[in-house]
Structure 1
Amino acid sequence: MLPNPTPSYSAFQKWLPRSLGKRMLLLMMGLLVLLVCATGFIGNQIVTGILNEYIGRVALNVSRSVSLSPIVSQGLIQLEPDGIQRYAESVREATGASFVVVGDYEGKRYSHPVPERIGKYMVGGDNERALVQGQSYVSIAVGTLGPSLRGKVPIFSSGGEILGVVSVGYLIETVQDVIQPYQQRLLFWILGLFAVGALGTWFIAREVKRSIFGLEPYEIAGLYRERTALLESIREGIIAINEKGDVTVMNHQAAQILGFSPEEALGRPIEQLLPETRMLEVLKTGKGEYDQEMLIEEEEVVVNRVPILEQDHVTGVVSSFRRAQEIDRLVQELTSIREYSQALRAQTHEYSNKLHTLAGLIQIG
């Protein structure tokens, strides 16, 4: 015997559809959306990080190349920005950078894409590491042209003195333009993954529904309760095993005859409970046995063994049995009833004959 399931519904479950297929589809689609969104977010962060790092290295390499140019160092020493401006603009056009700015040790510009800003101080507040500590690095700051990703490299004299700084940058808008095709490609793959996942989710939900014969959970629970009530209402002992030979069902009548409680029997091999049983033979052959006599605990019982078939494959065996003395008692009762019925029939016939005789005498008289 199996425990009687008691359905419980949380506040969340009340909002779900009763249909198992729709419920599975809804839950799995929700999970799929979360996974796809998380994958898209993480993937976008990775792609953006990789491209930002790559563009930062490009900006740093261009800055390092400009800082090593004699035109730049001599222009700073001689305080002549014209040559630096022409050289910086040629580098900017050749590399596609948004700006190539050269500043002296005070941060005063010697080159800029907007010539009117030459001679003014660089903005962004990210020159200190280059001008004070002599470091090369990549930073993100807001300049006069807007937010940008920039590579900073100090300019050294032949004696190792810091003369100024080179800042080569790419505007964030430009960086986004570079990143966008990769993001679109990533989005395409994510949408494809979502479509495949949605199709797989629908297929799984359909197969699960088909495997339970199209029944809904509440219908299965109702059938379970009906089956439990049916098993406990009949006078015969019922025991069932699966294809492994383990006990899966036992009602109270069977428990009384076998001397085991259902809790002790469920899940145990049938040969441990009934060493002389032929249920395993029926499991192998798939042929039922009916009205067979058997001794259980020195008590004679009448047994029926029926295989459980699923598409011509034996998946288990159900056995019903009842004490032979109960059957004998029923046979005796039926025999007594039959004899009583025959006696009544004979009396009725005799009484009918007397009535016919009496009717004949009345007609004569």
Structure 2
Amino acid sequence: MRRKWTLQRRLAIFVTLIVLLSLAVTFYMISLETTDTIQEQEEEIALNTARLVAGTNMVHQVLEEDVKVNEELQQYTQYVIEATNTDFVVVLDRNGIRRSHPNPDLVGLPFEGGDEKKTLETQEEYVSTARGTLGESLRAFSPIYNETGEFIGAVAVGITLNQIDDIIGTMLRPLYMGMVLSIIVGGIGAVLLARRVKSLMYNLEPEEIATVLEERSAMLESTKEGIVAIDNNGRVRLTNAEAKEVFRKMGVNENLIGQDVEQVLPGTKLKEVLKSNKPILDRKIRMEGFELLINEVPIRIKHQTVGAIATFKDKTDVAMLAEQLTGVKLYANALRAQTHEFMNTIHVLQGLIHLKQYDQAADYLARFTEVTGHETEQIMGNVKDTVLAGFLIGKQSYIREQGVDFNLDIQGSIPKSEDKDVVYELVTIVGNLLTNAVESVQSKDTKLVELSLRFKENELRIEVSDTGEGMNQEQQEKVFKKGYSTKGADRGFGLALIEQSVTNLKGHLLMTSDIGVGTIFTIYIPFEKQGDNEQQ
């Protein structure tokens, strides 16, 4: 099988041929122009010489004498030939007989060529090309008039074509050298250009590049994560099949290429990534009822940021399964905590009965039943979302297990959210706030944690306070930074998660803290309730 030429060889040959063709055309045009110019110059020289000789008095006198050979005229015309670098100067009488010639033997003989007749007959100047005794030459004719204005003869001045060709060759010689040099330089440049192009293409042949492109495209389209890439202007430049499918589910069916990325992905931070040149990883966003786990990273080529790319995965199905599992887990935790608390109560009752303190046992049992029943009834009656209710019941029992007093204040009814994913963010927010509060009061004599929930005018207010150590100003400025904690290593993620969840819900967070007094977190969240909550 015949081996194909490499891209480098093809490119070098192609560029060299282009250079050769360009130089050939240029040389041809310059040669024509140079030949025409030299031709005109020589014609002008010959015609001016003929005019000069025709106006000489000595020539007039010789023509009016009936002398075939005049040495003075021969010497004069020879001088003119040498001075003007022409090949011949011939003086003719009105009958076309030579009265001078470079070859004295031809003096007195008729002029050869036949082109002299026009001047002899019409007494006009003109230039022609004809063959004479000295070969083919360019000839200029000028009529001669005596002092009375009578036509008495003509002057023929000639330059052989061989001499004109020599002049043209001399003029074009630098052009030949320049052309050869240009071919050499062009060939070297073509080779260097071919090598440079080959290097820029990572030493791959076009067929190899096409194969790599097809492979990359196939991998891009087959991946199960959506991919969206943007340029430096924030315009979408690439989307894969999975991304298009996710957008289609969201009701976006139009071509996304060239659109502003914030119109395609309203929750994206790709433009922020472009400015900071830092990736943002494992972030959750919600769009049109879909939950996406998104990673956004800059695209850098040769130490320059040329764009950014987002990879995301639809977590909606996983979230639905998590909703079911989370509900079961929360109820299980609540039952576990209540079981522990109930067993403690049984142990107390067992002790009192063993001591035959029946009245105290009855009072204790009545008080326990009243407190736990009232708290559970309050939660189940006022918190309409069963996941959140189960979580609060379990968290309440857990906090009491830790030996911490817990006050729960639910002002009015807390409806179920129109967005089913909101409850998971609420669990993250309330859970982390309560956990931090419990930990902060462990070293205090007064161990009190309070949680207040209030829903009013489509806004949910969450307030968690504790009687812990509190924080100074420097600690308050750093407390939401991921990984920062005053409690040791591998901590400092709870408040960062809280801030992210509040941001996801488009809410805002306030914090007040005093050393030795405690800390209060207040969070306001836009909260659209379900339309049928009034009937529930």
Q: Are residue 97 (structure 1) and residue 86 (structure 2) matched?
A: yes
Q: Where do residues 175-194 of structure 1 align in structure 2 (5 Å cutoff)?
A: 175-194=164-183
Corresponding residue to 1:285 among 265, 276, 281: 276
Q: CA deviation at 1:160?
A: 2.4
Please tell me whether the aligned partners of residues 222 and 241 of structure 2 are also in contact (alpha carbons under 8 angstroms). Answer: no
1:62 equivalent in structure 2: 49
Q: What is aligned with 1:271? A: 262
Name the SS for the 2:33 alignment partner.
helix
| Letter of the 1:61 counterpart | N
- TM-score when scaled to structure 1? 0.79
Q: What pairs with 1:226-305 in structure 2 (closer than 5 Å)?
A: 226-259=215-248, 260=252, 264-305=255-296
Distance 1:78 1:17, change over 3 A: farther
> For the Cα contact (< 8 Å) 2:298–2:308, is it kept in 1?
yes
Q: Does 1:38 align with 2:25?
A: yes
Whole-angstrom distance in 2 between the partners of 1:139 and 1:255? 82
Is contact 2:69–2:107 with CA below 8 Å preserved after alignment? no
Corresponding position: 1:146 with 2:140:
no
- 1:217 Cα shift? 0.9
Q: Deviations over 1:295-334 (max 9, x none)?
A: 23331111112222112211122211111124558989xx
Residue 311 (structure 1) aligned with residue 302 (structure 2): yes
Segments of structure 1 that go 5 or more residues without pairing to the other structure are 1-14, 333-365
Contact 1:258 1:296 in 2 (8 A): no
* CA distance in structure 2 between the aligned counterparts of 1:210 and 1:331, rounded to whole angstroms: 52
Partner residue, 1:24:
11
Within the candidate set 11, 20, 34, 1:47 is matched to: 34
1:225, CA displacement in angstroms?
A: 0.8
Q: Distance in 1 between matches of 2:322 and 2:115?
A: 106
What is the alpha-carbon distance in structure 1 between the residues aligned to residue 220 and residue 318 of structure 2?
Answer: 19
Greater share of residues in helix? 1
Amino acid at match of 2:36: G
- What is the one-letter code of the residue matched to 1:325? T
Aligned equivalent of 2:146? 157
- Which amino acid in 1 is paired with 2:134? L
Q: Deviations over 1:217-257 (max 9, x none)?
A: 11111111111211221221112122332222211211122
CA contact (8 A) 1:240 1:319 kept: yes
Letter in 2 for 1:224: L
How has the CA–CA distance of structure 1 residues 330 and 304 changed in structure 2, closer, same or farther, with 3 Å as cutoff? farther
The 1:280–1:65 alpha-carbon spacing in structure 2 relative to 1, beyond 3 Å, is same
Say whether the 8 Å CA contact 1:60–1:138 is kept in structure 2: yes
Identity %: 34
1:126 paired residue among 115, 136, 147: 115
Write the distance in 2 (CA, Å) between the matches of 1:36 and 1:16.
31
Residue type at the aligned position of 2:39 = N
Look up the SS of the partner of 2:95 in the other structure. coil
Residue identity in the other structure for 1:52: Q
Residue 195 to residue 269, structure 1, CA distance change in 2 (3 Å): farther
- Could you tell me which amino acid in structure 2 is paired with residue 222 of structure 1? T
Q: Supply the AA of the counterpart residue of 1:173.
A: N
Over 3 Å counting, the alpha-carbon distance change for 1:283 and 1:330 in structure 2 is farther
SS of match in other structure, 1:265: coil
In the alignment, is residue 80 of structure 1 matched against residue 67 of structure 2?
Answer: yes
Q: 1:168 aligns to what?
A: 157
- Offset at 1:129? 4.1
Report the residue type matching 1:181 in the other structure.
T
Contact 1:17 1:23 in 2 (8 A): no
Alpha carbons of 1:141 and 1:271: their partners in 2 closer, same or farther (altered >3 Å)?
A: farther
Question: Aligned pair in 2 of structure 1 residues 273, 85: CA closer, same or farther (>3 Å)?
Answer: same
SS of corresponding position for 1:113: coil
The alignment covers a number of residue pairs equal to 317
Contact 2:290–2:316, Cα closer than 8 Å, also in 1: no
User: 1:215 maps to what in 2?
Assistant: 204
Provide the secondary structure at the position in 1 that maps to 2:69.
helix
Deviation at 1:207, TM superposition (A): 2.3
TM-score (norm 2): 0.55
Aligned to 2:419: none
The AA in structure 2 aligned to 1:93 is E
Give the residue type in structure 1 aligned to 2:93: D
Match of 1:325 in 2: 316
The structure with higher relative contact order (CA 8 Å, sep 6+) is 1
Q: Does the aligned pair in 1 maintain the 2:94–2:153 contact within 8 Å?
A: yes
Contact 1:36 1:190 in 2 (8 A): yes
Aligned residues of 1:104 and 1:110 also touching (Cα < 8 A): yes
1:204–1:327: structure 2 CA closer, same or farther, 3 Å change rule?
Answer: farther
Query: What secondary structure, in the 3-state scheme, does the structure 1 residue paired with 2:23 have?
Result: helix
Q: Which secondary structure state, in structure 1, belongs to the residue aligned with residue 48 of structure 2? A: helix
* Structure 2 contact 236–259 (Cα < 8 Å) conserved: yes
Aligned counterparts of 1:231 and 1:330: Cα–Cα separation in 2: 28
Alpha-carbon distance in 1 for matches of 2:210, 2:26:
38
Residues 338-349 of structure 1 correspond to what in structure 2 (within 5 A)? none
Instruction: Indicate if the aligned counterparts of 2:13 and 2:190 stay in contact, CA closer than 8 A.
Output: no
| 8 Å Cα contact 2:88/2:157 also seen in 1 | yes
Q: Secondary structure at the match of 2:113?
A: coil
Aligned residue type for 1:23: R
With over 3 angstroms needed to count, the CA separation of the structure-2 counterparts of 1:313 and 1:324, relative to structure 1, is same
Q: Do 1:258 and 1:297's aligned partners in 2 also have CA atoms closer than 8 Å?
A: no
